[in-house]
A and B are shown apart, each in its own frame.
Chain A
Amino acid sequence: MSTSVILDCRNVWKLYGAQAESLLAQNPAPDAEMLKEAGVIGAVRAANVQILKGEIFVIMGLSGSGKSTLVRCLSRLVEPTAGEIEFDGQDLLRATDAELIEIRRKKMGMVFQQFALMPHLTVLENAAFPLEVQGVDRATRETRAREMVELVGLKGREGYHPRELSGGQQQRVGIARSLVVEPDLWFLDEPFSALDPLIRREMQDEFLRLQSMLKKTIVFITHDFDEAIRLADRIAVMKDGVIEQVATPEELVRNPATDYVAEFTRHVARAKVFRARSVMEPLTADSFAGEVAHDATIEDIAAQVEGADAPFRVMRDGAAVGQITARAVIDVLVGRV
């Protein structure tokens, strides 16, 4: 599957402090103690991440755990202290300034926690900004930006300035701006954390809607585990600059690699995470009450399956791969598995 790795980050370190460089030169893998002794902050330590084409990769961790630093290393907004990053077959850390500008202009987009809109530009001008700096002519870039603004549901507000918009609307502009160049890789650094819970939920739905249309490769940062499991194909859990575990939401809940991850997943509603395929059993029944998709969450199918007399067939690519019983669903719902 290595062909579909779009971004490959190997053993990346980011240390802050006067002695950061010399410390790593002496010892390529210092532990937390040694960093502390040297008065160095280990914002990111020995990070290994492979982002696959078309997936939503979520980086999850508490505030200060190094998520923002890691994602900035991936886009080289922050210069890593050590490590290797390969993007689309190109060595990102050896790219010249000009090459880097070209990569960012054509292949990357980013959404920021505090929206980071230019205060002096209108909604339309903000959305068109990445095209403007590339020197695209006004008519073309405004047509393109208009499409984006419409896509994120802000049609009619093209002439507004950021301060005239609500937080949710501002972030929609931020999303429009980051998508206007049709990037291959889309970074979102806690895009919904500054929003009220209700708006946040709405924006998550909106995000999933967009992704179902656009099918981008996404690196999504959040400190909210519920958000992570709602959106993620895979999750990397970070703590103190170290990636504790990279796994699907379901694996994280089933097999937490460390106590820290276990602490996080303990209170997660299993039904939101578990998929039909992972609680199904071999096909034995003669008759079935219906069919469910193999990747449907238990939460989604619970009412249906639990209320039926017969098991449901679990379907994958048009073929039945197993069956799921009311009993299995209830086990998940009450937390017996």
Chain B
Amino acid sequence: MSRVMPYITRNTVFWVVLFALTWLLSRNSFALYKALDARWIIRFPKKYELPLEGWISTFLDWLVNTANFWLFTFRDLTRAIAVVIEVPYQVLRNLLIEGFQTGLGEQAVQLAPSMSWIAVIAVVVAVGHYARNWALAGLVGLCFLYLAVFGQWESAMITLASVLVAVPIGAVGGLALGILAYRMPWFDRALRPVLDLMQTVPVFAYLVPILILFGFGPVSALVATIIYAMPPMVRVTILALRAVPAEIVEAGRMAGCTARQITWKVLVPSATPTLMVGVNQVIMLTLNMVIIASMIGAGGLGFDVLSSLRRLDIGGGIEAGLAIVVMAIALDRASQAFSERKYSEPRSGNVLQRHPWSGTVVLVVLGTFILGRFVPAVQTYPEALTITTSPFWSAAMEWVNVNFFDTFEAIKTVLLKGLLLPVKKFFAGIPWGWGIIAVGLIAWRVNGWRLGVMAALLMAFIAASGLWAKAMVTIYLCGVSVLLATLIGIPLGIWAAERPRAGRVILGLMDTLQTLPSFVYLIPVVMLFRVGDFSAMIAVILYALAPAVRYAAHGLREVPEQLVEAGQMAGCTPGQLLWRVKLPLATPQILLGLNQTIMLALSMLVITALVGTRDLGQEVYIALTKANAGQGIVAGLSVAFIAIIADRIVNALAEGQKRRLGI
């Protein structure tokens, strides 16, 4: 290998030629169309478009209005599901905020008040203490106290009620499906593609059919939430059960367990710590989705944010957003503590001695119940004592905007002109025919002809659905955001890995960023940059940053100590050590992080449709507002297909790199 001339491999030639061709075609596609008078070059011919939208809408119509399964109609089924969800939800709402009543409207008679705010806080403190210790109990208690003091109590309780209904259903359902998949290989095989699709189809896309099936309101929101939050639980369950050591299962069989006993007395209890990780995920995804689902009637904190954004009420939006953050932190820390909980010795003695905390909580609940009848402040946190931060936030934003408007504008302009617009132009110009071929070629090059054909077919589906232009906007926005997120995230990850103290801070921050519902990211971005591609990009970067940082840090830390020492003994400087030894070895991990970043970016992009992008997300969002299920699903599938292609390509790259490194 000569050092003077950088070695050119066939691989490099392939990529350079592919890029150059694409670039040339992109630049000249319009001229080409004019010269040849062939409009089909830049636009997929309308008359060949797949009438998929219509089919789906017709199918849903049929399902709702005429479908009949022998004993019951489809409508009966959806009604039954609605009842199963609605009843516990209403009970929880009554318990947490509305109180129990009989009769309607004027004649309503209150039977019992809701739990007092003090009682709710007592319960969460006890849960925190049970899950870990007093420190956690204090944190959770403070979070809920915050909600009371800052006047977010009612909305927060509505959100909490949704979470408390959706989480058990999602967790138990996921567990059940996971156990079935573990025990029946054919079910596992059937389930896997469904899970893949459910996790890549953007949430808005299935809001539409659900809306049609269940109507506007909390039930729809909860159904969507459960569908959204369940797949990770299924996956975690399968993994957790498989990870139970074979010998433990054999020990169960040798003890004479029946199949059922193996599941419930051996597998599930042994896997509980891992299963709790799944429950934690269900809780966080549920919260995320409950917030988003405020668009179809979930109410609560999400609705407050949404309506503030629509009214451009900056203070109110930030206030509600912070309440979401606080709630997310409380739920995350508490549920995480459960997965790390140590088994503890059961106490002995009488009922109160055995359960001192439950006992205390029951006493507090009953006590405040009685006291609350005489002292209203015990029942509901007094309005007069709430602190509203809304004016403060409005003023702060005002101040920021007055003083930094020009700076922000300048940054925005530079990035728009220098990066976003050229990239957008490049992607927008690619003729759809070549686009399909190019994606196929890339996938083929990375992982063989099977993936190549699949990728090309999926892209062809998008083109044939008439969504090519919007898909290109999605790809461009996703690409730019992922690029910037990587450029910011990997150095942060390196920093975190090399400097343990900084690492703790950075990784802690990333953990918190990841627990925040995606909706929250829109708030500051809109306030500072208003609507448009740029705002969307910033929100996506913030949301998708965490995995880039985490995986880079993790990859670097996982580099075997011996190899680092070997490098040091060979006389590497710290810089050489990083570039020559650690980074190459960490590439597979970094690529996995990139994969996650892309997935998160795509899911966030759909939500940024709310701040006015013109991509597939917008298409889905329009479908949602028009309740056009076909349109929503087709656009949603298109996003899912892009996600699947990206996922397979990046994963193949990571695998290839692993093979090359022999790990």
Query: Which A residues lie at the B interface, using CB under 8 A?
Result: 72, 75, 77, 101-102, 104-106, 108-110, 112-121, 129-130, 132-134, 159, 161, 174, 177-178, 187
Q: Verify A118–B266 contact, CB threshold 8 A.
A: yes
Q: Which of B245, B253, B256, B270 has the most CB of A within 10 A?
A: B256
Residues of chain B lying within 8 A (CB to CB) of residue A109: 254
Q: Verify A161–B247 contact, CB threshold 8 A.
A: no
Segment at the interface with A among B4-12, B79-87, B257-265: B257-265
Q: How far is the CA of A105 from the CA of B270 in the complex (A)?
A: 21
Q: Verify A118–B247 contact, CB threshold 8 A.
A: no
The smallest beta-carbon distance between B342 and chain A, in angstroms, is 8
Pick from A112, A117, A133: contact of B256, CB under 8 Å: A133
Q: How far is the CA of A104 from the CA of B258 in the complex (A)?
A: 11
Q: Which of B258, B272, B343, B345 has the most CB of A within 10 A?
A: B343
Pick from B247, B257, B270: contact of A133, CB under 8 Å: B257
Can you name 9 A-B pairs with beta carbons within 8 Å?
A: A101-B258, A104-B254, A104-B255, A114-B245, A116-B251, A120-B269, A129-B265, A161-B343, A178-B254
Q: Verify A101–B256 contact, CB threshold 8 A.
A: yes
Pick from A116, A119, A161: contact of B250, CB under 8 Å: A116
Residues of chain B lying within 8 A (CB to CB) of residue A102: 256
Query: Given A75-B254, A104-B255, A120-B343: A133 and B248 within 8 A (CB)?
Result: no
Residues of chain B lying within 8 A (CB to CB) of residue A108: 254
Residues of chain B lying within 8 A (CB to CB) of residue A119: 269-270
Q: How far is the CA of A178 from the CA of B252 in the complex (A)?
A: 11
Chain A residue, CB-CB nearest to B345: A159
Scan residues 220-270 of chain B and give those whose CB is less than 8 A from a CB of chain A. 245, 247-248, 250-258, 261, 265-266, 269-270
Query: Which B residues lie at the A interface, using CB under 8 A?
Result: 245, 247-248, 250-258, 261, 265-266, 269-270, 272, 343, 345
Chain B residue, CB-CB nearest to A159: B345
Pick from A101, A105, A118: contact of B248, CB under 8 Å: A118
Q: Verify B270–A110 contact, CB threshold 8 A.
A: no
Q: How far is the CA of A112 from the CA of B270 in the complex (A)?
A: 16
Q: Which of A132, A133, A161 has the most CB of B within 10 A?
A: A133
Residues of chain B lying within 8 A (CB to CB) of residue A132: 265
Pick from A104, A134, A159, A177: contact of B253, CB under 8 Å: A104
Q: How far is the CA of A121 from the CA of B251 in the complex (A)?
A: 14
Residues of chain A lying within 8 A (CB to CB) of residue B254: 75, 77, 104, 108-110, 178, 187
Q: Verify B256–A116 contact, CB threshold 8 A.
A: no
Known: A118-B248, A133-B261. 6 other contacts (CB 8 A): A72-B250, A110-B254, A116-B245, A119-B269, A133-B257, A133-B258
Pick from B250, B256, B269, B270: contact of A130, CB under 8 Å: B256
B interface secondary structure, majority:
helix
Pick from B250, B258, B269: contact of A118, CB under 8 Å: B269
Query: Given A105-B255, A120-B270: A133 and B250 within 8 A (CB)?
Result: no
Q: Which of B252, B255, B258, B270 has the most CB of A within 10 A?
A: B255
Q: How far is the CA of A104 from the CA of B253 in the complex (A)?
A: 8
Residues of chain B lying within 8 A (CB to CB) of residue A113: 247
Chain A residue, CB-CB nearest to B257: A133
Q: How far is the CA of A118 from the CA of B251 in the complex (A)?
A: 9
Q: How far is the CA of A320 from the CA of B634 in the complex (A)?
A: 96
Residues of chain A lying within 8 A (CB to CB) of residue B252: 133
Q: How far is the CA of A105 from the CA of B251 in the complex (A)?
A: 11
Q: How far is the CA of A174 from the CA of B258 in the complex (A)?
A: 20
Q: Verify A104–B251 contact, CB threshold 8 A.
A: no
The smallest beta-carbon distance between A126 and chain B, in angstroms, is 9
Q: How far is the CA of A156 from the CA of B255 in the complex (A)?
A: 24
Residues of chain B lying within 8 A (CB to CB) of residue A161: 343
Residues of chain B lying within 8 A (CB to CB) of residue A120: 269-270, 272, 343
Residues of chain A lying within 8 A (CB to CB) of residue B251: 110, 112, 116-118, 174, 177
Q: How far is the CA of A130 from the CA of B247 in the complex (A)?
A: 15
The smallest beta-carbon distance between B349 and chain A, in angstroms, is 15
Q: How far is the CA of A134 from the CA of B256 in the complex (A)?
A: 8
Q: Verify A129–B343 contact, CB threshold 8 A.
A: no
Q: How far is the CA of A120 from the CA of B245 in the complex (A)?
A: 14
Residues of chain A lying within 8 A (CB to CB) of residue B261: 133
Q: How far is the CA of A102 from the CA of B253 in the complex (A)?
A: 11
Query: Given A120-B269, A120-B270: A110 and B250 within 8 A (CB)?
Result: yes
Q: Verify B247–A112 contact, CB threshold 8 A.
A: yes
Residues of chain B lying within 8 A (CB to CB) of residue A101: 256-258
The smallest beta-carbon distance between A281 and chain B, in angstroms, is 48
Q: How far is the CA of A114 from the CA of B254 in the complex (A)?
A: 15
Residues of chain B lying within 8 A (CB to CB) of residue A133: 252, 255-258, 261, 265
The smallest beta-carbon distance between A181 and chain B, in angstroms, is 8
Q: Which of A117, A129, A187 has the most CB of B within 10 A?
A: A129
Residues of chain A lying within 8 A (CB to CB) of residue B255: 104-105, 129-130, 133, 177
Chain A residue, CB-CB nearest to B251: A116
Q: Verify B247–A104 contact, CB threshold 8 A.
A: no
Residues of chain A lying within 8 A (CB to CB) of residue B266: 118
Query: Given A77-B253, A104-B253, A161-B343: A116 and B258 within 8 A (CB)?
Result: no
Q: Verify A116–B253 contact, CB threshold 8 A.
A: no
The smallest beta-carbon distance between B351 and chain A, in angstroms, is 19
Chain A residue, CB-CB nearest to B250: A77
Chain A residue, CB-CB nearest to B269: A120
The smallest beta-carbon distance between A98 and chain B, in angstroms, is 9
Residues of chain B lying within 8 A (CB to CB) of residue A105: 255-256
Q: Verify B256–A104 contact, CB threshold 8 A.
A: yes
Q: How far is the CA of A178 from the CA of B258 in the complex (A)?
A: 17
The smallest beta-carbon distance between B256 and chain A, in angstroms, is 3
Residues of chain B lying within 8 A (CB to CB) of residue A177: 251, 255
Residues of chain A lying within 8 A (CB to CB) of residue B343: 120, 161
The smallest beta-carbon distance between B95 and chain A, in angstroms, is 31
Residues of chain A lying within 8 A (CB to CB) of residue B257: 101, 133
The smallest beta-carbon distance between A122 and chain B, in angstroms, is 8
The smallest beta-carbon distance between B339 and chain A, in angstroms, is 13
Chain B residue, CB-CB nearest to A102: B256
Chain B residue, CB-CB nearest to A189: B247
Q: How far is the CA of A133 from the CA of B254 in the complex (A)?
A: 11
Pick the 4 closest A-B CB pairs, nearest first. Answer: A105-B256, A116-B247, A130-B255, A116-B251
Q: Which of A105, A113, A114, A119 has the most CB of B within 10 A?
A: A119
Q: How far is the CA of A159 from the CA of B348 in the complex (A)?
A: 13
The smallest beta-carbon distance between A337 and chain B, in angstroms, is 42
Q: How far is the CA of A101 from the CA of B252 in the complex (A)?
A: 11
Q: Which of A106, A130, A178 has the most CB of B within 10 A?
A: A130
Q: How far is the CA of A114 from the CA of B258 in the complex (A)?
A: 23
The smallest beta-carbon distance between A278 and chain B, in angstroms, is 38
Q: Verify A118–B253 contact, CB threshold 8 A.
A: no
Q: Which of B251, B261, B265 has the most CB of A within 10 A?
A: B251
Q: Verify A112–B269 contact, CB threshold 8 A.
A: no
The smallest beta-carbon distance between B571 and chain A, in angstroms, is 39
Q: Which of A72, A104, A116, A121 has the most CB of B within 10 A?
A: A116
The smallest beta-carbon distance between A237 and chain B, in angstroms, is 24
The smallest beta-carbon distance between B261 and chain A, in angstroms, is 5
Q: How far is the CA of A133 from the CA of B253 in the complex (A)?
A: 10
The smallest beta-carbon distance between B105 and chain A, in angstroms, is 52
Residues of chain A lying within 8 A (CB to CB) of residue B247: 112-116
The smallest beta-carbon distance between B84 and chain A, in angstroms, is 31
Q: Which of B248, B254, B261 has the most CB of A within 10 A?
A: B254
The smallest beta-carbon distance between A25 and chain B, in angstroms, is 24
Chain B residue, CB-CB nearest to A77: B250
Residues of chain B lying within 8 A (CB to CB) of residue A178: 254
Chain A residue, CB-CB nearest to B343: A161
Q: How far is the CA of A109 from the CA of B254 in the complex (A)?
A: 7
Residues of chain B lying within 8 A (CB to CB) of residue A77: 250, 253-254
Residues of chain B lying within 8 A (CB to CB) of residue A115: 247
Residues of chain A lying within 8 A (CB to CB) of residue B345: 159
Q: How far is the CA of A86 from the CA of B255 in the complex (A)?
A: 20
Chain B residue, CB-CB nearest to A98: B258
Query: Given A112-B247, A112-B251, A133-B265: A118 and B256 within 8 A (CB)?
Result: no
Residues of chain B lying within 8 A (CB to CB) of residue A110: 250-251, 254
